[in-house]
Structure 1
Amino acid sequence: MLPDQAQTRQALERLLAQGLLATPVAQSGVRDVIERSWRRCVGAEVPIGRHDIPYVADVHDMAPRLHAAAAPVLDRLGDDLGDARVAMFLSDDQGRIIMRRAGEPQQLRILDNSCAAEGFDFSETSIGTNGLGTVARERRPLLVHGSEHYSELLGPLTCAGTPIFEPFTGQLLGTFALACRSDHASALMPAMATDVGRQIEGNLTAMLGAHERTLIQAFLLATRTDRQPVIVVTENTAFANTAGLVHVTPETHALLWCDLAESGLRAGRHRRVIRLAGGRADALVERVDGVGPTGPAFCVRLLQSPRSPEPDRPSDHRRRHRRAAPQAPLHPVPDISDQLRSAVGFREVLAVDGPAGSGKLTAAMAALAGATGATGAPPVVVDLARTDCPESLAETGAPAVVLHHVHDAPAEHLRRIRTAIEDSSVPVALTVDLDTAHHDVAAVVAALCTTVRLPSLPEMSAEVPRIVLQIVAGLPPGQRETRFTSDALQVLMRWPWPGNLAELRRTVEQLARRRAGRSISSADLPPRMQQAPLRGFGMIETAERDAIVSALHRFGGNRTQAAAALGIGRTTLYRKLQTYRIPTGD
């Protein structure tokens, strides 16, 4: 039964007038799936009337595999439909129309007037509820009839759409829809659209090459004999059995591929600790060769659920007992986060050391905020590169003070800085770059402070996916729905980041502004990142990595003993473990 057009439109107008807090409009005969979409559109402030719809001039290079698989299906259907006044549409996974088939002149005028043409963005956030963008959002077949469309542009049309998924991986590739004037709509349209979608997916399966079939065969063999979560990864693909689907995310794929591709694993099964977005886990990893020119594949069988890493030092049962609830990390690397929290917890003067852009001020502020408790007032920052240090830090009236850029303070002010720190009655933290600081500054820091060094971003490249997620989560509404694909994250993990965390934050924020709410692939990254060679290991770095692996093996994974044998500190060893992506057992 078709919905009452006038009643449906009145329900939408009532929702627009009353806002998202309006009572459900389902009693007006509006389907739940349509109302859910309307509310998303209202929340995204999508215009209901005519407005400029985003347009891409050249759509022929978008989703080439989907285009190739769909073209013969739409050609056959076009021949079968003959002069029927039904148009066919194919969109990519973002809802952008990449193919339109329509021939009847009057229908073409209606479609063009509705911007229903190749190149136009029919995502929900662009044009509202429709048979392409809403199908992509809901990931299910859907009929949108006349006034159920959010935009007035689409009011004359009825659309039946269906999602199109990548065979075996389940990744959404795009959507297909049939559209016509509402007075010409047929009850057969949803079934026809769904059948066309399955034919396109069948063509995608037939297009798989021999190397992809080899990969699928290895996956099916693993899932036939194992009930544990199984994940298969190549440079461009990840898929899993039902138990492993929860781990198949862009972040996990980027972490797994970058780790395993550089691991040097040979044929056969190897037990090792792997990185997932949710933490580390023990796994059996099998290398699968013969899957194409991009390199091997890896079949990963998880032996346990992911666990968060713990620092490998003597436990403090009293401190752990007092921890009633998990505390927010002060730094992406858990060991460094714990060092920061320990220093301020014992009311020591904290010096946060690290190169420019490594997040020293953020870490110092977070550490002191935890030390001052629920006072409400944030620590005061005194930038010694711009102002003199006050003679008494108590004059600031703050619960804690951060002395920022201590390495940039004039040498003649060091005595005052030292006196202010020694006489302070409130918690104090310093930020300093000891690699560039004068030896007198280093002497003051060594005499008064507990120093925690923050690594540069390349030294903790495995944390890049998690940091990207944290940055995106803190962005304004609309931008925080932005997602990074695995290939983009792989480039970000391997980029040398001369500007450290500050450069990463600026890059992520810029991309999220330009492509708010969309998926960002490697093609969307700045040209310098796309064109530059990826960072690799030279002969000296390779030799150092081998020495660290040998020392860890000799001492059964004990990093303290391994660091002593190598003649370096534990913190330095930890940084190198991150830099060389050496797996450990914690």
Structure 2
Amino acid sequence: MAQRAGGGKSGRVAGPLDQERIRRAKEELLTKGLLDSGTLNSGVREVIDRSWRRCIGEEVQSVQPPHRGSLVTNSALEEAAEPVLARLADHLADVRVAMFLSDNSGNILSRKASEPRQRSRLDSAYAAEGFDFSERTIGTNGMGTSLAERRPLVIQGNEHFSERLAAFSCAGAPVFEPFTGRLLGTFSLAANTEDASPLMGAITVDVGRQIESNLAATLEMHDHALVRSYLYANRNKRDQVIVINEQTMFANTAGLSHLGPGTHAMLWHYLNDNAPTRDKCRMPIPLQSEWHEAEVEMIDRGSGSSPTYMIRVLPEQDSGLRLDRGEAATARRRSPATTRSPRPPVHPVPAVDEQLSQVARHRECLALDGGPGTGKRHTAAAFLRTHFAQQDPHVVDVATLLPDEGPQWFVAATTALEAGRPVIVQHLQDLAPLQVNRVKALMRPAESHVPVVVTVDGDSAPAHVSSLISQMATTVALPDLRDMSEHIPGLIDAVLSELEGSEHSTKFSSEAQQLLIRWSWPGNLAELRRTVEQLVRRMPGRVIQIADLPAQIQGARSGRRLSMIETSERETILRALQQFAGNRSKAAEALGIGRTTLYRKMQAHNIEV
């Protein structure tokens, strides 16, 4: 049932004569604070009073809402809504009313407004695609408050928390996913208050139900193969059964032990690259704890649709016999970020971890070789902590030493070794020839059982450094992140485990993890760590979605090259932003376009200020 847009207990629609009284009640509440209870006596509806108080508690500023960009999307919701909105747009072609579709965070996915003057007014209020119209950012409004209350609402004039929206009347209805009841977003209508119709609330409810009906039909079609495959594979309850498609994964109770937060993203990425296209086959697959052999069968659901994979994990006594030498070597090389060893792994790649263990067992001087950002310093510290459990290491950064610098740094490192404290010498590729003998002296005391670890970028190391390492140390090469992308879910979990409070409980959706797996990571592990920590600081305790990822990572989805016109447009926008020191309002004015248009183009071209 549609929520009546009534006032107070009488249920009256707040008419024009009530708007001034509502405005005064809001100002009084803002002045007196949350303890004031006079708003309801002023004719303000309970739902509006609740919303205003939430806005005050959230310290909503009612200024420009954040722009999430044109890359904000919910494809299932948009596909289900498109035919409904197209039909309604034909009926409302001569009516000055705008239609909006938002996701469950209040981000506007779509806006349809046919009248130019109305579009201009909506742009001035930032009511356009890509903007966040949740209640916590823009205050009480038909879209955001419908999400917060999870029911249809009509918000009129000064009932809006923001004065910028006071000229509008809005009706919104939440859209729920069939069968699960999950809140997907809203459909809403907005009109100038003088043009508003009493039917707006009823229309939004009806449209919302039509969208839900389309979603039900789509879900039934898309997931039919998933459910059918699961029921077929689960006939023997003792089998460990997993069924997966691009959006969903589930298992019977026997197979649940193999699933974890990052399993869907890692397994889907692996199957897309390696799974058969036709008949059932046996193959090793990455699961939560380790590699297992399984029977994998792809269920084709027709052209243009992603496949469903039916997986039956084989018992341990069968799986070990099924892997030939080549498959076993591949599995060991690409194994997920855990091993059978009771100790925590120093490095997520088992082959690398085993090499490090051998160096530790034989008390050899270790040289970690890798490009920038491959985690050499982090691996060195983990190596010492895991295998030697000694005090924190003394660190010598060769990059900070002058070519003719005196022996003070060498004396300090030698003193640390004599006291039983391990030493890390990093950036060895920057070592001056005059300092070679001192570093060689540090690398000798293996017989004292005090470990020394050096880090080096072998590709940029001069001949005297390469010679020093070959004489004094055992080299273990650290791979680039793009060469071990299947470990990214585990690496994300490792970063999150180091955080505290609400940041520790932050999660990444499977879709976001899949995009992170496909990213090239030119900055290696350092870039991954910085990206994860930045997202967690911005959205602690939330589930990170694709729309929350950095623009350059989102933009990597298409892989499309820009046309000459698009390249020229992008360069022009960059020059304007540079000219006005990132001031987007001035840049838009100089370019002769509106700010909203500029925001859209910046997102389309992956431009960040």
2:60 aligned residue: 48
- TM-score between both structures, scaled by the size of structure 1: 0.60
Measured against aligned partners, the alpha-carbon deviations of 1:13-38 in whole angstroms (never above 9, x if no partner) come to 75799xxxxxxxxxxx9999979976
Instruction: Kindly provide the amino acid, as one letter, of the partner of residue 410 in structure 2.
Output: E
Instruction: Kindly provide the amino acid, as one letter, of the partner of residue 311 in structure 2.
Output: V
1:232–1:193 Cα change, 3 Å? farther
Unaligned stretches of 5+ in structure 2?
Answer: 1-5, 10-21, 37-45, 317-334, 562-609
- Equivalents in 2 of 1:118, 1:266: separation in Å? 39
2:597 aligned residue: none
Structure with higher Rg: it is 2
- Equivalents in 2 of 1:302, 1:140: separation in Å? 41
1:97 corresponds, among 108, 113, 118, to 108
1:500 equivalent in alignment to 2:524: yes
Measured against aligned partners, the alpha-carbon deviations of 1:335-371 in whole angstroms (never above 9, x if no partner) come to 6457657866987543222334321122113434567
1:380 equivalent in alignment to 2:395: yes
The 3-state SS of whatever aligns with 1:274 is strand
Aligned 8 A contact 2:76 2:215 in 1: yes
The 3-state SS of whatever aligns with 1:391 is helix
Aligned 8 A contact 2:55 2:136 in 1: no
Q: Structure 2 matches for 1:265-276, cutoff 5 A?
A: 265=276, 267-270=278-281, 272-276=283-287
- Superposition deviation, residue 330 in structure 1: 3.9
Q: Percent identity?
A: 37
1:403 aligned residue: 425
- Equivalents in 1 of 2:514, 2:471: separation in Å? 42
- Equivalents in 2 of 1:37, 1:303: separation in Å? 53
1:139–1:10 Cα change, 3 Å? closer
Q: Structure 2 matches for 1:52-451, cutoff 5 A?
A: 52-55=64-67, 66-67=77-78, 69-73=80-84, 89-99=100-110, 115-116=126-127, 120-123=131-134, 126-128=137-139, 132-133=143-144, 141=151, 160-165=172-177, 174-177=185-188, 196-206=207-217, 212=222, 215-216=225-226, 218-219=228-229, 221-222=231-232, 225=235, 232-234=243-245, 236-240=246-250, 251-265=262-276, 267-270=278-281, 272-276=283-287, 283-293=294-304, 296-301=307-312, 311=339, 320=342, 330-333=346-349, 336-337=352-353, 340=356, 349-368=365-384, 379-384=394-399, 386-387=401-402, 390-392=409-411, 393-394=413-414, 399-422=421-444, 427-434=451-458, 437=461, 441=465, 444-445=468-469, 448-451=472-475
- Superposition deviation, residue 462 in structure 1: 0.7
- TM-score between both structures, scaled by the size of structure 2: 0.58
- Equivalents in 2 of 1:274, 1:371: separation in Å? 30
The 3-state SS of whatever aligns with 1:121 is coil
1:452 equivalent in alignment to 2:487: no
- Superposition deviation, residue 415 in structure 1: 2.0
The 3-state SS of whatever aligns with 2:274 is coil
- Superposition deviation, residue 291 in structure 1: 2.6
Aligned positions, number: 499
1:10–1:96 Cα change, 3 Å? same
2:581 aligned residue: none
1:135–1:340 Cα change, 3 Å? farther
The 3-state SS of whatever aligns with 1:298 is strand
- Equivalents in 1 of 2:129, 2:277: separation in Å? 48
- Superposition deviation, residue 292 in structure 1: 1.9
- Superposition deviation, residue 262 in structure 1: 2.8
- Equivalents in 2 of 1:330, 1:35: separation in Å? 52
Aligned 8 A contact 1:141 1:194 in 2: no
Instruction: Kindly provide the amino acid, as one letter, of the partner of residue 380 in structure 1.
Output: V
- Superposition deviation, residue 430 in structure 1: 0.9
- Superposition deviation, residue 200 in structure 1: 0.6
- Equivalents in 2 of 1:410, 1:271: separation in Å? 55
1:111–1:294 Cα change, 3 Å? closer
The 3-state SS of whatever aligns with 1:531 is coil
- Equivalents in 2 of 1:391, 1:513: separation in Å? 39
- Superposition deviation, residue 218 in structure 1: 3.8
- Superposition deviation, residue 488 in structure 1: 6.0
1:525 corresponds, among 527, 531, 553, to 553
Aligned 8 A contact 2:60 2:136 in 1: no
1:220–1:369 Cα change, 3 Å? closer
The 3-state SS of whatever aligns with 2:436 is helix
Unaligned stretches of 5+ in structure 1?
Answer: 18-28, 534-586
The 3-state SS of whatever aligns with 1:429 is strand
Measured against aligned partners, the alpha-carbon deviations of 1:504-551 in whole angstroms (never above 9, x if no partner) come to 556777889999966347985276785389xxxxxxxxxxxxxxxxxx
- Equivalents in 1 of 2:107, 2:161: separation in Å? 17
Aligned 8 A contact 2:108 2:132 in 1: yes
Query: More displaced, 358-367 or 92-101?
Result: 92-101
